Amino acid sequence: MELVLATANPGKFRELAEGLKPLGFALRSLLDFPGLRLPEETGATFEDNAFLKAAYTAKATGLPALADDSGLVVPALGGEPGVYSARYGGKATDRERNVYLLERMRHLKGEERKARFVAVLVLAFPDGHAELYRGEVEGYILEAPRGEGGFGYDPLFYLPEAGKTFAEMSPEEKARHSHRGRALSALLQAWKDGPPP
């Protein structure tokens, strides 16, 4: 089956492509469809935004499309950055957003630095049908970045059971623990015997 990965984020693309390998889909990227831009993310939830991106791409390309809407949720900040993770504080780069998050959390200590990553994957078909898969992981936001791997908030996200940040993990190790890895496992489980009923 041909499948369009409806993301313009190269970090996500890499992780999704790796995780989907066992299904043997022929993957397409947005670059295969010049002129196609993802719609504005106007939804209030990860679910809404993932659905917007996947349904739009499936309709525009005539192919099944998989979108990932994800982000970091810090309860002590009232859920920030949440669905605004990609544009937190109006900052343009991952590094600037990380600096901004650290600044916002400067007064928070111990358990107040708890955070979770959420990923919602929506697989949409040109006929309007859609399937949704979700993954979450809980950890802590460090006071300074650690590690060079991954993307986004990975250098700040510390997973106690691994004793590392996501940016200090190999791609395989991050996939075993991450929100996206967990959502992908749910998708793989549903598709292991072919298209779900």
Nearest to ligand ITT of 160, 197 (CB atom): 160
The residue ranges that bind ligand ITT (CB under 6 A) are 7-9, 12, 38, 41, 68-72, 85-86, 117, 150-154, 166, 178, 180
* Residue 94 φ then ψ, to 5°: -55, -45
Distance CA 9, CA 34 (A): 16
Closest contact distance (angstroms) between CB of 137 and ligand ITT is 9
C-alpha span between 146 and 135 (Å, rounded): 23
| Complex with ligand ITT: residue 31 or 193, whichever CB lies closer | 31
- Dihedral sign from CA coordinates of 96, 37, 123, 192: negative
Nearer to ligand ITT among residue 176 and residue 193 (C-beta): 176
Q: With respect to ligand ITT, which residue has the nearer C-beta, 131 or 174?
A: 174
Angle at alpha carbon of residue 84, lines to 183 and 155, rounded to 5°? 65
What's the rounded Cα separation, in Å, for the pair 82 and 140? Answer: 15
Annotated catalytic, 69? Answer: yes
User: In terms of Cα–Cα distance, which of 39, 37, 48 is closest to 120?
Assistant: 48
The catalytically annotated residue of 69, 94, 127, 154 is: 69
Q: What 3-state class would DSSP assign to 4?
A: strand
Question: Which is nearer to ligand ITT, 177 or 191 (by Cβ)?
Answer: 177
Q: Please, where are the H alpha helices in 41-177?
A: 46-61, 94-104, 171-177
Phi, psi angles (nearest 5°) of residue 161: -65, -20
Contact (CB, 8 A) for 69 and 41: yes
Q: Catalytic residue numbers?
A: 69
